[in-house]
Amino acid sequence: MEESPLSRAPSRGGVNFLNVARTYIPNTKVECHYTLPPGTMPSASDWIGIFKVEAACVRDYHTFVWSSVPESTTDGSPIHTSVQFQASYLPKPGAQLYQFRYVN
């Protein structure tokens, strides 16, 4: 079974993707855990995308899911949350490298 490579983008704006596996098993969902830095105000219009590593534009995503917005946050504390990517929307197995990116 060939696995597909996935990595985390360099931290931009302080968003930190946690426990990112180097590959994922095809036909299984992928859970993406991340932490938003203190002072970040998440919005219902924020999203997590899977991008080819070389993608230069936010419109060049492979797939995305809307980020989760916690019901309550403690001011000054980081926000830990996660989203799930359904298996049918993930990139097909191959040599192409992909990464998570947080878009607000």
62 assigned to some structural domain: yes
**Predicted local distance difference test score (pLDDT) of residue 69:** 82
Q: What domain range includes position 46?
A: 16-69+77-103
Residue 76 Cα to chain centre, angstroms: 23
pLDDT tens for the chain, 104 residues long, are: 344 565 555 445 689 999 998 888 889 999 999 999 988 888 889 999 999 999 999 999 999 999 988 776 667 789 999 999 999 999 998 889 999 999 99
Name the domain count of the chain: 1
**Predicted local distance difference test score (pLDDT) of residue 51:** 96
9 assigned to some structural domain: no
**Predicted local distance difference test score (pLDDT) of residue 7:** 54
**Predicted local distance difference test score (pLDDT) of residue 98:** 94
**Predicted local distance difference test score (pLDDT) of residue 101:** 95
Q: Which residue has the tokens 């991340």?
A: 34
Distance CA 91, CA 71 (A): 31
**Predicted local distance difference test score (pLDDT) of residue 59:** 95
Which helix (H) or strand (E) element contains residue 102? strand 98-103
How far lies 87's CA from each of 7, 18, 44, 101, 104, in Å?
17, 20, 23, 18, 24
Distance CA 36, CA 15 (A): 5
pTM of the model: 0.83
CATH number of the CATH domain containing 57: 2.60.40.2840
Q: 42-45 long-range contacts, Cβ below 8 Å, gap at least 24? A: 42/67, 42/68, 42/69, 42/70, 42/73, 42/79, 42/81, 42/104, 43/69, 43/104, 44/69, 45/104
3 assigned to some structural domain: no
